[in-house]
A = this chain, B = another copy of it.
């Protein structure tokens, strides 16, 4: 067997990735009609893989399919974002509490590396790195299934996030939060780490859900 440098996957997989990216980035705005033929043409494939991608994205909550009427980008409602933040507030502290006792020097170093990367990066990449950092915090918990659920929850929020604004205003706050959380992890202080994470997520929630 030869070492596949990058398994790009099937056309359907790639189509799903690309369409997901476009939805999350806002290139396909909320509510936009998803035209099978057009998208197939844009991606240089036929409608079959596009249709499969739609099904997948529907299950992920990013697309709405209606029988005989096709697909559209799932509209985001504010109440939905509230729910997604509530779920983050449940799941992320849970994961962090499980992770902290397992934190190794390597885990700390990995997180520090990401934090360093985040300095002076552009907005889009910052958001991506920010999420990678959160994932790095939870990795030592070894909860792949839970993490997967969380990923999906996050993608729902992320789309809304970018739609809204410049995250720049929260970046300083986030930076100090991240460093404090990491420090608590390094000291294996789960209590403190969780408390800090909760207020970190709450701050993010307040920034985007005024009436939260």
Contact = CB atoms under 8 A, between A and B. Distances in A.
A156 B13 CA distance: 23
Contact of A56 (B13, B55, B68, B143): B55
A9 B9 CA distance: 29
Contacts of A84: 145
B94 A86 contact: yes
Interface in A40-63: 48, 51-53, 55-56, 58-61
Given A84-B145, A145-B84, A10 B59 contact: no
A87 interface: yes
A56 B80 CA distance: 22
Contacts of A148: 61
A174 interface: no
A115 B9 CA distance: 48
Contacts of A149: 87, 149, 152-153
Please classify how large the interface on chain A is, using the bins under 10, 10 to 19, 20 to 34, 35 or more. Answer: 35 or more
Contacts of A53: 55
Nearest to A16: B55
A172 interface: no
A2 to B, nearest CB: 15
Given A52-B55, A90-B91, A90-B94, A10 B146 contact: no
